[in-house]
């Protein structure tokens, strides 16, 4: 998938579960869809998203995967003949008005803590490596991670890992790597690739975000966190590697705990 450097893509999430995807380019593109309203809508208030602290900058492949999960194809240019939302200005994405919540189907915002709407099942585009926009700003201090099998054992004891079948869309410099998702914890993630891409190297820092999909119901989570490849093992079956996360925000921790609990229940029913 192409790298579209002029257009920027943003995700808003509730406890790390994406609910709104926007594409923005001043002054001609300000369009978004949501999980509850998966039809593109023009909204000039989206021009404020680059300055919104809760907005997570994602790459084109990551944005395309979210759009596909909501049944939409992502185009770099504006979608034609879409309705416009006439809103109050300036926009405040951290404190939406009742009208704004209705238009986007975001009833749980503004202090109300109802469950975020689940992204409906769809098959996101596959691929091994795809170009992306510039690497996001690294946030916070990276937690220490020990490389090698000993480090993996210590990490497993500290935070129980849950096997997860799915995919991980990971920012790595100016590309996005699509890897198989093997297991996940609050401390990090283990992934596998069928080949040995040169950008995946032990000790490499990943600027995030991490967009993770769990099958079979295609539930998603978006962690706007920095990571580091803490270990790497190349076998005939592929390249296995572990990523240690920096400290998660409170909302991300809660969302990840729910994500892991749901993944455990699904595997238990098999």
Structure token digits, residue 103: 């238009």
Write out pLDDT tens, residues 159-173. 789 999 999 999 987
| 238 Rama class: left (phi>0) / alpha (psi -120 to 50) / beta | left
In a domain, 122, yes or no: no
Q: Are residues 142 and 80 in the same domain?
A: no
Report if residue 116 sits inside a domain.
no
Instruction: Based on the fold, state whether residues 37 and 87 are members of the same structural domain.
Output: yes
Domain region containing 157: 129-268
Which of 36, 71, 104 lies at the terminal end of a domain, its last residue? 104
Beta bridge partners of 190: 183, 242
The reply to whether 156 falls in a domain is yes
CA 223-131-208 angle, 5° bins: 20
* Cα–Cα distance for residue pair 168/178, rounded to 1 Å: 6
141 and 250, same domain (yes or no): yes
pLDDT for residue 117 is more than 50: no
Residue 228 included in any domain: yes
Do 138 and 23 fall within a single domain?
no
Q: What is the pLDDT of residue 262?
A: 87
Q: Which of 69, 104, 139 is the last residue of a domain?
A: 104
CA 239 – CA 88 distance, rounded (Å): 50
Q: Are residues 260 and 142 in the same domain?
A: yes
For residues 20 and 141, state if they share a domain. Answer: no
Same domain, 29 and 78: yes
- Reply yes or no on whether the pLDDT at 251 is more than 50: yes
Evaluate if residue 140 carries a pLDDT over 60. no
**243 shares its domain with 174:** yes
Residue 148 domain-assigned? yes
**pLDDT above 80 for 177:** yes
Question: 221 in helix, strand or coil?
Answer: strand
Mean pLDDT of 33-56: 93
**114 inside domain:** no
Q: Does a structural domain hold residue 253?
A: yes
Using pLDDT thresholds of 50, 70 and 90, give the confidence band for residue 152.
very low
CB-based contact 223:245 (threshold 8 Å): yes
- Residue 127: how many CB atoms within 10 A of its CB? 14
* End-of-domain residue from the set 104, 139, 159: 104
- The answer, as to whether pTM is greater than 0.75, is yes
Closest residue by Cα to residue 77 from 2, 163, 12: 2
Q: What are phi and psi of 263, to 5 degrees?
A: -65, -40
* Shared-domain flag, residues 13 and 98: yes
* 218-243 mean pLDDT: 93
Do 134 and 94 have their domain in common?
Answer: no
Domains in the chain: how many in total? 2
Residues 82, 158 within the same domain: no
**Domain shared by 65 and 152, yes or no:** no
Residue 121, domain member (yes or no): no
């Amino acid at each position: 998938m192409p790298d579209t450097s002029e257009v920027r893509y943003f995700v808003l999430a509730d406890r790390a579960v994406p609910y709104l995807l926007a594409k923005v380019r001043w002054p001609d593109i300000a369009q978004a869809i949501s999980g509850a309203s998966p039809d593109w809508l023009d909204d000039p208030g989206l021009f404020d998203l680059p300055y919104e602290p809760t907005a997570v900058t994602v790459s084109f492949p990551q944005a395309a995967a979210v759009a596909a999960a909501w049944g939409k194809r992502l185009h770099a240019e504006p979608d034609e003949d879409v309705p416009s939302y006439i809103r109050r200005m300036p926009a405040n994405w951290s404190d939406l008005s009742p009208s704004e919540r209705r238009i986007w189907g975001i009833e749980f915002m503004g202090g109300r803590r109802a469950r975020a709407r689940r992204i409906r099942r769809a098959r996101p585009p596959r691929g091994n490596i795809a170009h992306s926009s510039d690497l996001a700003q690294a946030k916070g201090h990276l937690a220490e991670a020990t490389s090698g099998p000993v480090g993996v054992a210590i990490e497993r004891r500290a935070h129980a890992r849950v096997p997860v079948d799915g995919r991980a869309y990971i920012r790595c410099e100016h590309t996005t790597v699509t890897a198989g998702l093997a297991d996940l914890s609050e401390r990090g993630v283990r992934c596998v690739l069928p080949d040995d891409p040169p950008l995946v190297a032990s000790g490499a820092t990943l600027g995030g975000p991490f967009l993770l999909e769990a099958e079979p119901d295609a539930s998603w989570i978006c962690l706007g966190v920095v990571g580091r490849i803490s270990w790497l093992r190349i076998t005939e079956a592929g390249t296995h590697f572990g990523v240690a996360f920096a400290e998660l925000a409170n909302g991300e921790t809660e969302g990840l705990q729910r994500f892991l609990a749901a993944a455990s229940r699904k595997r238990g029913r098999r």
